[in-house]
Amino acid sequence: MSMSKNKLLFLFFIYYLIGSNAMSLSNIGKACLFSNISGVILLDGKPVENALLIRTIEFSNKKTDKTRTDSNGYFEMPAIFERSVKNILPQEFSSAQEIELVYKGQSYAIWSGVKRKPDENSESQGKPLVVKCELNSERNFIQVDNSPIFSLCTWDVIPDQIDTGF
């Protein structure tokens, strides 16, 4: 029995997707919209207890989740993944990210950025995203792997060198 040319091409394509790229079928079109993030929230150097963190992500639609800090100001939010045909088409990846913190009736924008790579932990160059956020600090702008981030937080990352043209 001979196989038709179309079937042979289809099988070759499937082999290419799962074989040569070492990608399982379950990962096709899967992107990390916001990596696992954990850390400590401080106010004047002291832990902020029971603060509400609201994380919002916009990719193909808007997603929101929430958590609270513990007595040591510690929080953790799991990575958010989405599978979409958009992730396998030849186009730029872009996931809007925000974290708002509400404490004693006051709101703080502790994280606002655009994730430009679908890889987990691209916000921290492949390392776990562990932050320290001081609510009385100035929001800083940094760029990590061409992803712009405004934040009250610091973490183990080396920002991109931005060419100002001068």
Q: Is residue 17 part of a domain?
A: no
Expressed as residue numbers, the domain containing 36 is: 29-155
Residue count of the chain, please give it: 166
Structure-token pair, residue 33: 């919209």
Residue 152 phi, psi (nearest 5): -90, 0
Q: Is residue 104 part of a domain?
A: yes
Structure-token pair, residue 35: 């990596």
Predicted local confidence at residue 20, as pLDDT: 39
Q: Is residue 13 part of a domain?
A: no
Predicted local confidence at residue 38, as pLDDT: 98
List, for residues 18-69, the tens digit of each pLDDT value: 443 444 444 566 899 999 999 999 999 999 999 999 999 999 899 999 999 9
pTM tops 0.85, yes or no: no
Cα distance between residue 52 and residue 60, in whole Å: 25
Q: Is residue 6 part of a domain?
A: no
Centre a 10 Å sphere on the Cβ of residue 100 and count the other Cβ atoms it contains.
17
Structural domains in the chain (count) = 1
Residue 114 sits in a domain whose CATH number is: 2.60.40.10
Split at pLDDT 50, 70, 90, the class of 17 is very low
Q: Is residue 3 part of a domain?
A: no
Q: Which has more pLDDT, 14 or 130?
A: 130
Dihedral sign for Cα atoms in the order 57, 60, 61, 65: negative
- Measured CA to CA in angstroms, residue 17 lies from 3, 4, 154, 159 at distances of 20, 20, 38, 33
List, for residues 96-129, the tens digit of each pLDDT value: 999 999 999 999 999 999 999 999 999 999 999 9
List, for residues 136-164, the tens digit of each pLDDT value: 999 999 999 889 999 999 999 999 987 66
